[in-house]
């Protein structure tokens, strides 16, 4: 069963993936600790990491 709280994780992950400043995202999520925002609520997959590496190398 999916709980409505999952929407917070999805929102946080989507905003991080879109490039939102982590401190802004922390504020919007209402977290006092950036670690909660980045380590608990943000879920990025392999494709996100691959895209970032490609951007850094200029391959994209």
pLDDT at residue 48 in the model: 74
pTM of whole model > 0.75? no
Label residue 30 left, alpha or beta by phi (over 0 means left) and psi (-120 to 50 means alpha): left
Domain-wise residue ranges, the chain: 6-57
Mean pLDDT, the chain cut into blocks of 10 residues (60 residues total):
86 92 97 94 81 79
Secondary structure of the chain in the HEC alphabet? Answer: CCCCCHHHHHHHHHHHHCCCCHHHHHHHHCCCCHHHHHHHHCCCCHHHHHHHHHHHHCCC
Q: What angle do CA 11, 47, 23 make, to 5 degrees?
A: 40
């Amino acid at each position: 069963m999916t709980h409505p709280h999952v929407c917070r994780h999805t929102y946080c992950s989507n905003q991080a993936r879109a490039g939102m400043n982590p401190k802004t995202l922390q504020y919007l999520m209402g977290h006092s600790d950036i670690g909660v925002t980045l380590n608990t609520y943000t879920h990025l997959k392999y494709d996100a990491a691959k895209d970032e590496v490609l951007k850094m190398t200029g391959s994209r």
